Amino acid sequence: MTLNRREMLVCVALLLGVASLAAAQDGRTPEERLKALGIELPPAPKPVANYVPAVRAGTLVFLAGQGPLVAGRPAMTGKVGGDVSEEDGARAARMTILNSLAALRAEIGSLDRVRRIVKLTVWVNSAPGFTRQPAVANGASDLLVQIFGEAGRHARSAVSANELPFNMPVEIEMIVEVSAG
């Protein structure tokens, strides 16, 4: 049997959906998945200006923008598509989302209370002509799906910035729905 291009794409989409569904139905909690992935969240980042890291409104938690900081300092700096490769930009996005999850855990106590990742806004410090911001943002999005399964799928904006604080390559803001209580 030979599949045409459209049929192959449908099959791939179904397989990816099954893999994602399997992650969501594997019986493990997000905290257990973090351990299985060998990930230990960093300490929750401290604000670097006059704001709070997280604000709850009902069952939604709005997380302030985070970057790839380690001990309050950028782990990497520069413009993606210039002095930072697209792959390193995606790694910076992954590191950034770990900082966001640390801030979220500090606010709600456990990532097991997450019902859904609602929205990410990903700013990419982009060199002139760089247009692959979505590929950089996937560093964060892919990890959220690994940790939360279907609940990790989210709406997202991935936009170019000509400058970011501390010359960080990425800054991410997140909205999360949590269980009441």
The pLDDT score that the predictor gives to residue 113 is: 97
Residues contacting residue 57 through CB under 8 Å, at least 6 positions apart = none
Judge whether residue 19 has pLDDT over 60: no
Judge whether residue 84 has pLDDT over 80: yes
The pLDDT score that the predictor gives to residue 12 is: 41
Instruction: Please name the residue ranges forming H helices in 29-85.
Output: 30-36
CATH fold of 29-178: 60s Ribosomal Protein L30; Chain: A; (3.30.1330)
Mean of all residue pLDDT scores within the chain:
89
For residue 117, what are its two tokens?
A: 């990742």
C-alpha pair distances (Å), 116 with each of 78, 121, 177: 32, 15, 5
Judge whether residue 54 has pLDDT over 60: yes
Judge whether residue 14 has pLDDT over 50: no
Residues contacting residue 172 through CB under 8 Å, at least 6 positions apart = 65, 66, 67, 93, 96, 97, 100, 120, 121, 122, 123, 140
The pLDDT score that the predictor gives to residue 33 is: 97
Average pLDDT over residues 9-27: 47
For the entire predicted model, the pTM comes to 0.85
The share of the chain scoring above pLDDT 70, in percent, equals 86
Average pLDDT over residues 167-172: 98
pLDDT tens digits, one per residue of 22-48: 444 588 999 999 999 999 999 999 898
Judge whether residue 8 has pLDDT over 90: no
Q: Give the separation between CA 171 and CA 119, rounded to whole angstroms.
A: 14
The pLDDT score that the predictor gives to residue 48 is: 84
Tokens 């939360």 appear where? 148
Judge whether residue 135 has pLDDT over 90: yes
